[in-house]
Amino acid sequence: MKIYFLPKDKVKLLVESVLDEFQVFGAKAKEMKFEFGKIDTAAELRLDYNTTILPPVKTFFPNDEKILEFKPNGQTTSVHENSKKVLFGVHPCDIHAIEMMDNIFSTPPEDKHYLERRKDSIIIGINCNTPCSDKILCYDKGTYKADSGFDLMFWDNGESYLVEVVTSLGNFLASKFSYFFNFFTEYSGDFHEFKSEYHKRQDFVFEKKLTRKISELPEAMRQSYESELWHEVGAKCLSCGSCNIVCPTCYCFDVKDVVDIDLAGGHRCRNWDSCQNLDFACVGSGENFREKSSQRNRHRVFKKEVYLPQNKGYSGCVGCGRCNTACIAGISLIDIYNNVFSEEV
Amino acid sequence: MEADFIKMETGYVPVEAKITKITQPTEYEKVFTLDFPHKEHLKFLPCQFVMVSIFGFGEAPISICSSPDDEEFQLCVRKVGSLTNKMHSLKVGDFIGIRGPYGNGFPVEVLEGKDLLFTAGGLGLAPLRSLIRYVLQNREKFGDFTLLYGARSPHDRLFADEISEWETSEFVDFHETVDIGEENWMGNVGLITSLFPMIGIDPEKTIGVIVGPPIMYQFVVREMLKKEITDKNIFMSLERRMRCGLGKCGHCQMNGVYVCQEGPVFNYVDVQAIQEAI
């Protein structure tokens, strides 16, 4: 691990240099919010952003992703994209989400489409000085900080950033811009002490939202399976699917064909899908295995807090709060979790 | 039987298969016989499924209805959506895309040396036919074989020629019924559960297998339990929506279980722990 010292007024120069060599993705202003997308100029990139509308991980799992091309003669080609990408300024919660999705898509049978996009990508994290909003759960979840899942991490140090380089890809980026490194000086202070001071400052401004410890959630949730709560949530829900679309750990998809306008071929693509859609679990005979909104809402939450912990050993919610913000019916995971906690005997 | 069937590690790329024969047992179902470029594409286990694709019309999961020991590879397809409607318009000599086989398939070794009670409802006869034919082809490995089949009406009966053979065969005790009879129908009329009083089995030695429409499972399970077959000796193949077959897209999930990976064949003991299963 190496630690560098980067004055904030040099960040723009660094971004410009990176842009010369790589595709850069990061947060940029979109009306009153921020979106995570492709950066064309250094001035566009914002490091002082709150939660982006869509999460960074969608860079590797885009909507309308072309997976196959087909010709009328039956010739089929698998489509993969593997340009070198730098994700510049990813919050710790989203880093946790990327780590989770890496695990999901590399579990056999592997998903080469995701893995190819992900393979040569460099993740530059940035720690959060303050909470993004009051909709987030990252302090309860422990995802307001990340120990892995990034190649470089920016730590706010007032007029400068401390840049933690932890992987060979991180070192690769550093050496790639060695001509640039006269702006960097090796940081001589005690980094561990700096980190612990930083996290102490976070302890002052981040607050817990749940009435009980997050480790108690899967069991409490399991016991809520037959709870009236799901009917209440289901009655509010409009089944619009916004919660799934903005979620950094939702990975369900649909597959559909698009035929070229000249009928000379076409492609097969996958689109983000939502388990809240009425026909999500509907089969050809018309049987719908989750016909009720209450069942679909329970499935969304159980997938994250019961099934993934059970099958994979991690929660499928990183507490970013996007679903709580996106829901037009005012459904909030914070309320659901606290209700589950209060119901459990 | 050898279980080292080949899982094609090709992601979403289908293999081109040529339609060599088409038969139409009912108004809505056709049976397609397919020829693959390589013989290893034909290796599978009973109750596995493939993703069928026609470019421009998408993909759908279809159960294999031929036996692994058959010379021919067959799919029975009901006309129900855009892909299957398109498929019904195809002719011998046309090509379709196939990827798979997917799913766990039937653990045929647990059936060896046992008496068998198979129950098929409606289109469930298609996937079960793979196992039925396999049992008849390897008849010496199994004890008594009882097969129950229920169709909606006489003209919805699938594989009528084979049914005629089963009716007179000394190798299988075959009973069938239809939900709604017709003027010329001389057979049983009633739900599939009405066949259970007609059969005698040895519950100590019998394995029950159920494939049918979702509504059927709990009623047939109840009949099997009444016959004192134990939970662990009941198996079933479950249908779900599937878009990838690779354990990712989420559509086939019942609680925490991906049917395309851990199923479609489940033991009743496991099914009882999955609230959304039946």
- What's the pLDDT tens digit per position in A122-134? 999 999 999 999 9
Strands B29-35 and B15-23, how do they pair?
antiparallel
Q: For chain A, how far is it from start to end, CA to CA, in angstroms?
A: 47
Interchain contact A314–B (C-beta under 8 A): no
Predicted pLDDT of residue A181: 58
**Looking at the structure, do residues B126 and B233 belong to the same domain, yes or no?**
yes
Which of A23, A108, A91, A13 minimizes the C-alpha distance to A57? A91
* DSSP character at residue B14: P
Contact (CB, 8 A) for A38 and A44:
no
Mean pLDDT by runs of 10 across the 278 residues of chain B is: 43 93 95 90 90 94 96 95 95 95 94 97 96 97 97 94 95 96 92 95 96 96 97 96 95 96 96 95
State residue B207 phi and psi, 5-degree precision.
-105, 130
Nearest-by-Cβ selection for A282 from B11, B241, B243: B241
Cα–Cα distance between A252 and A243 in angstroms, integer? Answer: 12
Nearest-by-Cβ selection for A76 from B14, B58, B214: B14
Interchain contact A302–B (C-beta under 8 A): yes
**Looking at the structure, do residues B51 and B162 belong to the same domain, yes or no?**
no
Q: Which of A71, A106, A268 to mutate to test the interface with B (most CBs of B within 10 A)?
A: A268
List CB contacts of A227: < 8 A, sequence separation 6 or more.
A340, A343
For residue A308, list chain B residues with Cβ-Cβ distance below 8 A. Answer: 256
* DSSP character at residue A172: H
Interchain contact B273–A (C-beta under 8 A): no
**Looking at the structure, do residues B71 and B42 belong to the same domain, yes or no?**
yes
**Looking at the structure, do residues B82 and B128 belong to the same domain, yes or no?**
no
Predicted pLDDT of residue B28: 94
Low-confidence ranges of chain A (pLDDT < 50): none
Contact (CB, 8 A) for B15 and B144:
no
Q: Give the domain-ending residue among B102, B118, B149.
A: B102
CATH number for position B21:
2.40.30.10
Residue of A nearest to B94 (CA): A74
Domain hosting residue B231, numbered range: 108-237
- Does residue B274 belong to any structural domain of this protein? no
* Helices A92-106 & A112-119 angle (0-180, nearest 10): 130
Cα–Cα distance between A55 and A50 in angstroms, integer? Answer: 11
Predicted pLDDT of residue B7: 44
Nearest-by-Cβ selection for A256 from B58, B248, B254: B58
**Looking at the structure, do residues B141 and B189 belong to the same domain, yes or no?**
yes
**Looking at the structure, do residues B113 and B29 belong to the same domain, yes or no?**
no
Q: Give the domain-ending residue among B102, B121, B150.
A: B102
Which of A129, A44, A132 minimizes the C-alpha distance to A88? A44
Q: For chain B, how far is it from start to end, CA to CA, in angstroms?
A: 29
Instruction: Compute the radius of gyration of chain A from its Cα atoms.
Output: 22
CATH number for position B133:
3.40.50.80
Q: Where do the domains of chain A lie?
A: 2-205, 214-343
Predicted pLDDT of residue B64: 97
**Looking at the structure, do residues B91 and B158 belong to the same domain, yes or no?**
no
Interchain contact B28–A (C-beta under 8 A): no
**Looking at the structure, do residues B119 and B39 belong to the same domain, yes or no?**
no
- Does residue B59 belong to any structural domain of this protein? yes
Q: How many Cα atoms are found within 13 Å in the side-chain-facing hemisphere of B155?
A: 6
Q: Give the domain-ending residue among B102, B129, B154.
A: B102
C-alpha A106 chain-centroid distance: 16
| Amino acid (1-letter code) at residue A299 | H
> Could A255 and B11 be called an inter-chain contact, meaning their C-beta atoms sit closer than 8 Å?
no
Predicted pLDDT of residue A344: 64
> Could B84 and A268 be called an inter-chain contact, meaning their C-beta atoms sit closer than 8 Å?
no
List CB contacts of B230: < 8 A, sequence separation 6 or more.
B203
| Amino acid (1-letter code) at residue A43 | A
Cα–Cα distance between B67 and A241 in angstroms, integer? Answer: 42
Mean pLDDT rounded to a whole number for chain A: 93
Cα–Cα distance between B248 and A119 in angstroms, integer? Answer: 19
* DSSP character at residue A129: S
- Does residue B131 belong to any structural domain of this protein? yes
When divided into structural domains, chain B yields a total of: 2
Structure tokens at A231: 């009917």
